[in-house]
Structure 1
Protein backbone atom coordinates (compact mmCIF):
# COMPACT_ATOMS: atom_id res chain seq x y z
CA UNK A 1 0.00 0.00 0.00
CA UNK A 2 2.73 2.46 0.98
CA UNK A 3 4.61 1.90 -2.30
CA UNK A 4 1.55 2.58 -4.46
CA UNK A 5 0.74 5.73 -2.45
CA UNK A 6 4.33 6.96 -2.81
CA UNK A 7 4.35 6.39 -6.59
CA UNK A 8 1.04 8.22 -6.87
CA UNK A 9 2.37 11.16 -4.85
CA UNK A 10 5.67 11.57 -6.71
CA UNK A 11 4.46 13.56 -9.67
CA UNK A 12 6.53 16.37 -11.12
CA UNK A 13 5.39 19.76 -12.31
CA UNK A 14 3.49 20.19 -15.58
CA UNK A 15 6.28 20.64 -18.09
CA UNK A 16 7.52 20.96 -21.64
CA UNK A 17 10.96 19.47 -22.22
CA UNK A 18 12.78 21.14 -25.10
CA UNK A 19 15.39 18.41 -25.30
CA UNK A 20 13.23 16.91 -28.06
CA UNK A 21 15.23 19.11 -30.44
CA UNK A 22 18.59 17.50 -29.62
CA UNK A 23 20.13 14.32 -31.05
CA UNK A 24 18.65 11.25 -29.37
CA UNK A 25 20.36 7.94 -28.72
CA UNK A 26 18.70 4.71 -27.71
CA UNK A 27 21.56 3.72 -25.40
CA UNK A 28 24.69 5.21 -23.85
CA UNK A 29 26.76 2.98 -26.13
CA UNK A 30 25.15 4.62 -29.15
CA UNK A 31 26.08 8.05 -27.80
CA UNK A 32 29.64 6.85 -27.12
CA UNK A 33 30.09 5.80 -30.74
CA UNK A 34 28.76 9.18 -31.88
CA UNK A 35 31.13 11.10 -29.58
CA UNK A 36 34.08 9.08 -30.86
CA UNK A 37 33.11 9.91 -34.43
CA UNK A 38 32.76 13.62 -33.72
CA UNK A 39 36.24 13.80 -32.18
CA UNK A 40 38.14 11.26 -34.28
CA UNK A 41 40.55 13.99 -35.46
CA UNK A 42 42.12 13.66 -32.02
CA UNK A 43 44.78 15.83 -30.42
CA UNK A 44 43.47 19.20 -29.27
CA UNK A 45 40.53 19.22 -31.70
CA UNK A 46 37.53 20.38 -29.62
CA UNK A 47 33.78 20.15 -30.24
CA UNK A 48 31.90 22.85 -28.33
CA UNK A 49 28.45 22.70 -26.76
CA UNK A 50 27.36 19.16 -27.55
CA UNK A 51 23.94 18.17 -26.25
CA UNK A 52 22.36 14.74 -26.61
CA UNK A 53 19.69 12.59 -24.99
CA UNK A 54 20.03 8.96 -23.90
CA UNK A 55 16.67 7.21 -23.81
CA UNK A 56 17.63 3.96 -22.02
CA UNK A 57 19.81 4.48 -18.96
CA UNK A 58 19.86 0.80 -18.02
CA UNK A 59 22.10 -0.38 -20.88
CA UNK A 60 25.77 -0.74 -19.90
CA UNK A 61 28.78 -1.43 -22.07
CA UNK A 62 32.53 -2.02 -21.86
CA UNK A 63 35.52 -0.77 -23.86
CA UNK A 64 39.18 -1.85 -23.94
CA UNK A 65 40.03 1.08 -21.65
CA UNK A 66 37.08 0.37 -19.38
CA UNK A 67 36.37 -3.33 -18.91
CA UNK A 68 33.73 -4.31 -16.34
CA UNK A 69 36.19 -4.39 -13.43
CA UNK A 70 37.40 -0.85 -14.09
CA UNK A 71 33.84 0.46 -14.48
CA UNK A 72 32.75 -1.15 -11.23
CA UNK A 73 35.80 0.18 -9.35
CA UNK A 74 35.45 3.79 -10.50
CA UNK A 75 31.71 3.78 -9.88
CA UNK A 76 32.19 2.43 -6.35
CA UNK A 77 34.76 5.15 -5.75
CA UNK A 78 32.61 7.98 -7.09
CA UNK A 79 29.49 6.76 -5.28
CA UNK A 80 31.41 6.88 -2.01
CA UNK A 81 31.09 3.11 -1.57
CA UNK A 82 33.88 1.01 -0.05
CA UNK A 83 36.49 -0.60 -2.30
CA UNK A 84 39.65 -2.54 -1.62
CA UNK A 85 43.27 -1.55 -2.06
CA UNK A 86 43.58 -4.53 -4.39
CA UNK A 87 40.88 -3.08 -6.63
CA UNK A 88 42.60 0.30 -6.61
CA UNK A 89 45.99 -1.19 -7.47
CA UNK A 90 44.49 -3.20 -10.31
CA UNK A 91 42.22 -0.64 -11.96
CA UNK A 92 43.25 2.91 -11.12
CA UNK A 93 45.43 4.54 -13.77
CA UNK A 94 45.97 8.06 -15.06
CA UNK A 95 44.71 7.17 -18.55
CA UNK A 96 41.30 6.50 -16.98
CA UNK A 97 41.11 9.95 -15.43
CA UNK A 98 42.73 11.53 -12.39
CA UNK A 99 41.61 14.12 -9.84
CA UNK A 100 39.27 15.79 -12.33
CA UNK A 101 37.13 12.67 -12.41
CA UNK A 102 37.13 12.00 -8.65
CA UNK A 103 33.63 12.91 -7.49
CA UNK A 104 33.38 10.94 -4.23
CA UNK A 105 33.78 13.72 -1.65
CA UNK A 106 30.44 14.08 0.15
CA UNK A 107 28.65 12.04 -2.52
CA UNK A 108 26.57 9.96 -0.12
CA UNK A 109 25.34 13.11 1.60
CA UNK A 110 24.52 14.71 -1.75
CA UNK A 111 22.56 11.65 -2.87
CA UNK A 112 20.66 11.53 0.43
CA UNK A 113 19.78 15.21 -0.01
CA UNK A 114 18.37 14.57 -3.51
CA UNK A 115 16.27 11.67 -2.27
CA UNK A 116 14.94 13.72 0.66
CA UNK A 117 14.23 16.63 -1.69
CA UNK A 118 12.17 14.68 -4.22
CA UNK A 119 10.32 12.69 -1.57
CA UNK A 120 9.36 15.88 0.26
CA UNK A 121 8.59 17.96 -2.85
CA UNK A 122 8.38 15.96 -6.10
CA UNK A 123 8.00 19.18 -8.12
CA UNK A 124 11.28 20.60 -6.80
CA UNK A 125 13.89 22.14 -9.09
CA UNK A 126 16.51 21.92 -6.31
CA UNK A 127 17.44 18.24 -6.54
CA UNK A 128 21.07 18.67 -7.60
CA UNK A 129 24.37 16.85 -7.21
CA UNK A 130 27.00 19.62 -7.32
CA UNK A 131 30.57 18.50 -8.06
CA UNK A 132 32.62 21.69 -8.48
CA UNK A 133 35.08 21.31 -5.63
CA UNK A 134 36.26 18.76 -3.13
CA UNK A 135 36.82 20.89 -0.04
CA UNK A 136 37.34 24.52 -1.07
CA UNK A 137 35.00 27.34 -2.03
CA UNK A 138 34.43 28.59 -5.56
CA UNK A 139 36.17 31.91 -4.88
CA UNK A 140 39.45 29.98 -4.52
CA UNK A 141 39.19 28.48 -8.02
CA UNK A 142 42.60 27.81 -9.58
CA UNK A 143 42.72 26.66 -13.20
CA UNK A 144 46.04 24.87 -12.57
CA UNK A 145 44.46 22.64 -9.88
CA UNK A 146 42.98 19.56 -11.55
CA UNK A 147 41.16 18.65 -8.35
CA UNK A 148 39.16 21.88 -8.58
CA UNK A 149 38.41 21.77 -12.29
CA UNK A 150 36.15 18.72 -12.19
CA UNK A 151 34.88 17.49 -15.55
CA UNK A 152 31.29 17.01 -14.38
CA UNK A 153 29.95 20.13 -12.70
CA UNK A 154 26.37 19.24 -11.74
CA UNK A 155 23.66 16.65 -12.11
CA UNK A 156 20.11 18.01 -12.06
CA UNK A 157 17.49 15.40 -11.12
CA UNK A 158 13.76 15.86 -11.60
CA UNK A 159 10.52 13.92 -11.88
CA UNK A 160 8.78 14.10 -15.25
CA UNK A 161 6.23 11.75 -16.84
CA UNK A 162 6.25 9.74 -13.57
CA UNK A 163 9.93 8.95 -14.15
CA UNK A 164 13.19 10.08 -12.60
CA UNK A 165 15.09 12.06 -15.22
CA UNK A 166 18.39 13.89 -15.18
CA UNK A 167 20.43 16.54 -16.96
CA UNK A 168 24.21 16.41 -16.58
CA UNK A 169 26.36 19.53 -17.08
CA UNK A 170 29.99 18.84 -18.01
CA UNK A 171 32.83 21.30 -18.41
CA UNK A 172 34.87 18.69 -20.25
CA UNK A 173 34.28 15.28 -21.79
CA UNK A 174 36.97 13.07 -23.27
CA UNK A 175 35.15 10.67 -25.54
CA UNK A 176 37.19 7.71 -24.37
CA UNK A 177 36.39 8.53 -20.69
CA UNK A 178 32.64 8.70 -21.38
CA UNK A 179 32.03 5.02 -20.46
CA UNK A 180 33.27 5.68 -16.90
CA UNK A 181 31.18 8.84 -16.51
CA UNK A 182 27.96 7.37 -17.81
CA UNK A 183 28.32 4.13 -15.80
CA UNK A 184 28.55 6.25 -12.65
CA UNK A 185 25.57 8.42 -13.65
CA UNK A 186 23.52 5.32 -14.47
CA UNK A 187 24.31 3.73 -11.13
CA UNK A 188 23.49 6.91 -9.23
CA UNK A 189 20.17 7.38 -11.03
CA UNK A 190 19.12 3.76 -10.60
CA UNK A 191 19.96 4.00 -6.90
CA UNK A 192 17.92 7.19 -6.44
CA UNK A 193 15.11 5.78 -8.57
CA UNK A 194 14.88 2.67 -6.40
CA UNK A 195 14.69 4.82 -3.27
CA UNK A 196 11.89 6.88 -4.83
CA UNK A 197 10.25 3.78 -6.33
CA UNK A 198 10.30 5.39 -9.73
CA UNK A 199 11.67 4.12 -13.06
CA UNK A 200 14.61 5.97 -14.55
CA UNK A 201 13.77 7.86 -17.71
CA UNK A 202 15.89 9.73 -20.22
CA UNK A 203 19.14 11.52 -19.49
CA UNK A 204 20.30 14.75 -21.17
CA UNK A 205 24.09 15.19 -21.54
CA UNK A 206 25.46 18.75 -21.92
CA UNK A 207 29.17 19.13 -22.75
CA UNK A 208 30.94 22.48 -23.10
CA UNK A 209 34.21 20.96 -24.39
CA UNK A 210 34.38 17.57 -26.09
CA UNK A 211 37.71 16.01 -27.15
CA UNK A 212 38.81 12.55 -28.21
CA UNK A 213 41.11 11.73 -25.29
CA UNK A 214 43.43 13.17 -22.65
CA UNK A 215 45.95 14.32 -25.27
CA UNK A 216 43.91 17.54 -25.53
CA UNK A 217 45.65 20.60 -24.06
CA UNK A 218 44.64 21.67 -20.54
CA UNK A 219 41.58 19.46 -20.53
Structure 2
Protein backbone atom coordinates (compact mmCIF):
# COMPACT_ATOMS: atom_id res chain seq x y z
CA UNK A 1 0.00 0.00 0.00
CA UNK A 2 1.40 3.37 -0.98
CA UNK A 3 1.56 6.38 1.34
CA UNK A 4 -1.08 8.09 -0.81
CA UNK A 5 -3.42 5.11 -0.46
CA UNK A 6 -2.90 4.95 3.29
CA UNK A 7 -3.73 8.64 3.56
CA UNK A 8 -6.85 8.30 1.40
CA UNK A 9 -8.16 5.32 3.35
CA UNK A 10 -8.96 7.30 6.47
CA UNK A 11 -11.42 5.81 8.94
CA UNK A 12 -14.12 7.40 11.05
CA UNK A 13 -13.74 7.23 14.82
CA UNK A 14 -15.93 4.35 15.91
CA UNK A 15 -17.08 1.98 18.62
CA UNK A 16 -17.85 -1.50 17.31
CA UNK A 17 -20.27 -3.34 19.58
CA UNK A 18 -19.43 -6.68 18.00
CA UNK A 19 -16.96 -7.09 20.86
CA UNK A 20 -19.94 -8.35 22.86
CA UNK A 21 -20.70 -11.25 20.53
CA UNK A 22 -18.95 -14.63 20.37
CA UNK A 23 -15.59 -14.41 18.59
CA UNK A 24 -14.04 -17.20 16.56
CA UNK A 25 -10.42 -17.22 15.45
CA UNK A 26 -11.22 -18.88 12.12
CA UNK A 27 -14.12 -19.77 9.87
CA UNK A 28 -13.67 -23.41 10.86
CA UNK A 29 -14.25 -22.59 14.52
CA UNK A 30 -17.51 -20.78 13.72
CA UNK A 31 -18.63 -23.61 11.43
CA UNK A 32 -18.05 -26.21 14.15
CA UNK A 33 -19.96 -24.09 16.66
CA UNK A 34 -22.97 -23.63 14.37
CA UNK A 35 -23.11 -27.36 13.69
CA UNK A 36 -23.06 -28.03 17.42
CA UNK A 37 -25.79 -25.59 18.47
CA UNK A 38 -28.13 -26.81 15.69
CA UNK A 39 -27.49 -30.49 16.39
CA UNK A 40 -31.16 -31.33 17.19
CA UNK A 41 -31.73 -30.90 13.45
CA UNK A 42 -35.04 -31.10 11.59
CA UNK A 43 -37.27 -28.11 12.28
CA UNK A 44 -35.15 -26.87 15.21
CA UNK A 45 -34.21 -23.21 14.68
CA UNK A 46 -31.68 -21.00 16.44
CA UNK A 47 -32.80 -17.38 16.12
CA UNK A 48 -30.67 -14.25 15.87
CA UNK A 49 -27.17 -15.67 16.04
CA UNK A 50 -24.37 -13.13 15.80
CA UNK A 51 -20.70 -14.07 15.72
CA UNK A 52 -17.37 -12.66 14.60
CA UNK A 53 -14.63 -14.35 12.56
CA UNK A 54 -11.37 -12.65 13.48
CA UNK A 55 -9.19 -14.04 10.67
CA UNK A 56 -11.20 -13.48 7.51
CA UNK A 57 -8.53 -14.57 5.07
CA UNK A 58 -9.57 -16.99 2.34
CA UNK A 59 -7.34 -19.62 3.93
CA UNK A 60 -9.11 -19.26 7.28
CA UNK A 61 -12.48 -19.54 5.57
CA UNK A 62 -11.67 -22.55 3.41
CA UNK A 63 -13.50 -25.19 5.41
CA UNK A 64 -13.62 -28.49 3.57
CA UNK A 65 -16.37 -30.95 4.48
CA UNK A 66 -17.85 -34.08 2.97
CA UNK A 67 -20.55 -31.94 1.36
CA UNK A 68 -18.11 -29.23 0.28
CA UNK A 69 -14.69 -30.49 -0.80
CA UNK A 70 -12.28 -27.84 -2.04
CA UNK A 71 -13.38 -28.14 -5.66
CA UNK A 72 -17.01 -27.47 -4.73
CA UNK A 73 -16.08 -24.45 -2.61
CA UNK A 74 -14.02 -22.96 -5.42
CA UNK A 75 -16.71 -23.63 -8.03
CA UNK A 76 -19.51 -21.96 -6.05
CA UNK A 77 -17.30 -18.99 -5.20
CA UNK A 78 -16.40 -18.50 -8.86
CA UNK A 79 -20.08 -18.67 -9.72
CA UNK A 80 -21.20 -16.20 -7.06
CA UNK A 81 -18.35 -13.79 -7.79
CA UNK A 82 -19.49 -13.65 -11.41
CA UNK A 83 -16.23 -15.22 -12.59
CA UNK A 84 -15.91 -17.72 -15.42
CA UNK A 85 -16.22 -21.43 -14.74
CA UNK A 86 -16.30 -24.42 -17.05
CA UNK A 87 -19.14 -26.72 -18.02
CA UNK A 88 -17.09 -29.55 -16.55
CA UNK A 89 -16.92 -27.78 -13.18
CA UNK A 90 -20.67 -27.23 -13.18
CA UNK A 91 -21.35 -30.86 -14.07
CA UNK A 92 -19.05 -32.10 -11.33
CA UNK A 93 -19.96 -29.79 -8.45
CA UNK A 94 -23.47 -28.34 -8.96
CA UNK A 95 -25.91 -30.17 -6.68
CA UNK A 96 -29.25 -29.13 -5.18
CA UNK A 97 -28.17 -30.38 -1.76
CA UNK A 98 -25.40 -27.75 -1.86
CA UNK A 99 -27.95 -24.98 -2.28
CA UNK A 100 -30.18 -24.00 -5.16
CA UNK A 101 -31.50 -20.69 -6.43
CA UNK A 102 -31.62 -19.21 -2.92
CA UNK A 103 -27.84 -19.38 -2.74
CA UNK A 104 -27.15 -18.12 -6.26
CA UNK A 105 -25.82 -14.58 -5.85
CA UNK A 106 -24.07 -13.98 -9.17
CA UNK A 107 -26.60 -11.69 -10.91
CA UNK A 108 -24.97 -8.29 -11.24
CA UNK A 109 -22.27 -9.20 -8.74
CA UNK A 110 -19.36 -7.73 -10.68
CA UNK A 111 -21.16 -4.38 -10.93
CA UNK A 112 -22.01 -4.50 -7.23
CA UNK A 113 -18.39 -5.19 -6.30
CA UNK A 114 -17.17 -2.39 -8.58
CA UNK A 115 -19.64 -0.02 -6.92
CA UNK A 116 -18.32 -0.86 -3.44
CA UNK A 117 -14.72 -0.35 -4.55
CA UNK A 118 -15.58 3.00 -6.12
CA UNK A 119 -17.52 4.02 -3.02
CA UNK A 120 -14.73 3.38 -0.53
CA UNK A 121 -11.99 4.63 -2.83
CA UNK A 122 -13.88 7.89 -3.43
CA UNK A 123 -15.24 8.35 0.08
CA UNK A 124 -13.52 6.15 2.68
CA UNK A 125 -15.87 7.40 5.41
CA UNK A 126 -18.94 6.21 3.51
CA UNK A 127 -21.61 4.02 5.07
CA UNK A 128 -22.99 3.16 1.61
CA UNK A 129 -20.58 0.40 0.60
CA UNK A 130 -23.30 -2.22 0.44
CA UNK A 131 -23.73 -5.31 -1.71
CA UNK A 132 -27.45 -6.11 -1.86
CA UNK A 133 -28.14 -9.69 -2.88
CA UNK A 134 -31.84 -10.11 -3.80
CA UNK A 135 -33.88 -8.12 -6.31
CA UNK A 136 -31.06 -7.72 -8.81
CA UNK A 137 -33.53 -7.61 -11.69
CA UNK A 138 -36.77 -6.44 -10.02
CA UNK A 139 -37.87 -4.18 -7.19
CA UNK A 140 -38.73 -5.32 -3.67
CA UNK A 141 -42.40 -4.53 -4.24
CA UNK A 142 -42.40 -7.80 -6.20
CA UNK A 143 -41.55 -9.80 -3.04
CA UNK A 144 -43.00 -13.31 -3.27
CA UNK A 145 -42.36 -15.81 -0.49
CA UNK A 146 -43.04 -18.73 -2.86
CA UNK A 147 -40.20 -17.77 -5.23
CA UNK A 148 -37.09 -19.58 -3.99
CA UNK A 149 -34.78 -17.72 -6.34
CA UNK A 150 -36.00 -14.39 -4.99
CA UNK A 151 -35.72 -15.38 -1.32
CA UNK A 152 -31.94 -15.31 -1.15
CA UNK A 153 -30.38 -16.60 2.05
CA UNK A 154 -27.89 -13.73 2.29
CA UNK A 155 -29.57 -10.33 2.05
CA UNK A 156 -26.72 -7.82 2.21
CA UNK A 157 -23.00 -7.46 2.79
CA UNK A 158 -21.95 -4.18 4.42
CA UNK A 159 -18.31 -3.19 3.91
CA UNK A 160 -16.60 -0.43 5.86
CA UNK A 161 -13.16 0.88 6.76
CA UNK A 162 -12.33 0.70 10.46
CA UNK A 163 -9.00 0.71 12.30
CA UNK A 164 -7.26 1.01 8.93
CA UNK A 165 -8.76 -2.26 7.71
CA UNK A 166 -11.64 -3.36 5.50
CA UNK A 167 -14.30 -5.06 7.58
CA UNK A 168 -17.61 -6.63 6.67
CA UNK A 169 -20.96 -7.44 8.24
CA UNK A 170 -23.18 -10.01 6.54
CA UNK A 171 -26.95 -10.06 7.08
CA UNK A 172 -28.35 -13.54 6.51
CA UNK A 173 -32.05 -14.41 6.47
CA UNK A 174 -31.52 -18.16 6.63
CA UNK A 175 -28.41 -20.24 7.25
CA UNK A 176 -28.17 -24.00 7.11
CA UNK A 177 -25.14 -24.81 9.22
CA UNK A 178 -23.90 -27.45 6.80
CA UNK A 179 -23.91 -24.91 3.94
CA UNK A 180 -22.26 -22.10 5.91
CA UNK A 181 -18.81 -23.18 4.69
CA UNK A 182 -19.82 -22.30 1.11
CA UNK A 183 -21.03 -18.87 2.18
CA UNK A 184 -17.99 -17.79 4.14
CA UNK A 185 -15.60 -18.96 1.42
CA UNK A 186 -17.43 -16.70 -1.03
CA UNK A 187 -17.73 -13.77 1.39
CA UNK A 188 -14.03 -13.98 2.31
CA UNK A 189 -13.01 -14.12 -1.35
CA UNK A 190 -15.14 -11.06 -2.10
CA UNK A 191 -13.87 -9.02 0.86
CA UNK A 192 -10.23 -9.90 0.18
CA UNK A 193 -10.70 -8.95 -3.48
CA UNK A 194 -12.08 -5.54 -2.51
CA UNK A 195 -9.33 -5.01 0.07
CA UNK A 196 -6.67 -5.76 -2.54
CA UNK A 197 -8.21 -3.21 -4.90
CA UNK A 198 -8.24 -0.61 -2.12
CA UNK A 199 -4.75 -1.46 -0.91
CA UNK A 200 -5.77 -2.19 2.68
CA UNK A 201 -5.69 -5.16 5.04
CA UNK A 202 -8.75 -7.24 5.90
CA UNK A 203 -10.25 -7.01 9.37
CA UNK A 204 -12.85 -9.15 11.08
CA UNK A 205 -16.17 -10.31 9.69
CA UNK A 206 -19.47 -10.15 11.63
CA UNK A 207 -22.10 -12.76 10.71
CA UNK A 208 -25.76 -12.01 11.55
CA UNK A 209 -28.24 -14.87 11.07
CA UNK A 210 -31.98 -14.56 11.73
CA UNK A 211 -32.82 -18.25 11.18
CA UNK A 212 -30.18 -20.92 11.73
CA UNK A 213 -30.93 -24.61 11.09
CA UNK A 214 -28.76 -27.71 10.92
CA UNK A 215 -29.42 -28.62 7.29
CA UNK A 216 -31.98 -28.43 4.49
CA UNK A 217 -34.42 -30.85 6.13
CA UNK A 218 -36.05 -27.80 7.78
CA UNK A 219 -39.25 -26.55 6.11
CA UNK A 220 -39.33 -23.50 3.81
CA UNK A 221 -35.71 -22.51 4.21
Q: Indicate the TM-score class for this superposition, using the shorter chain for normalisation.
A: over 0.9
Cα deviation, residue 172, structure 1: 0.3
Partner of 2:68: 66
Contact 1:130 1:153 survives alignment (8 Å): yes
Query: 160, 164, 167: which one pairs with 2:166?
Result: 164
Helix, strand or coil for the counterpart of 2:144? coil
Contact 1:28 1:182 survives alignment (8 Å): yes
Write the distance in 2 (CA, Å) between the matches of 1:110 and 1:127: 9
Partner of 1:31: 30
Cα deviation, residue 8, structure 1: 2.2
Partner of 1:104: 106
Contact 1:75 1:187 survives alignment (8 Å): yes
Moved over 6 A (4+): none
Partner of 2:9: 10
Contact 1:131 1:153 survives alignment (8 Å): yes
TM-score (norm 1): 0.98
Contact 1:133 1:149 survives alignment (8 Å): no
Q: How many residues align?
A: 218
Write the distance in 2 (CA, Å) between the matches of 1:11 and 1:41: 46
1:77-156 counterparts in 2 under 5 A?
A: 77-156=79-158
For structure 2, the 5+ residue unaligned runs are none
TM-score (norm 2): 0.97
Cα deviation, residue 203, structure 1: 0.3
Partner of 2:186: 184
Cα deviation, residue 61, structure 1: 2.0
Cα deviation, residue 134, structure 1: 3.7
Write the distance in 1 (CA, Å) between the matches of 2:80 and 2:120: 22
Cα deviation, residue 110, structure 1: 0.3
Cα deviation, residue 141, structure 1: 0.7
For structure 1, the 5+ residue unaligned runs are none
Write the distance in 1 (CA, Å) between the matches of 2:5 and 2:38: 44
Partner of 2:210: 208
Cα deviation, residue 137, structure 1: 1.2
CA displacement 1:35-57 (0-9 Å, x = unmatched): 00010000010000000000001
Cα deviation, residue 202, structure 1: 0.2
Q: How much is the aligned-residue C-alpha RMSD, in angstroms?
A: 0.8
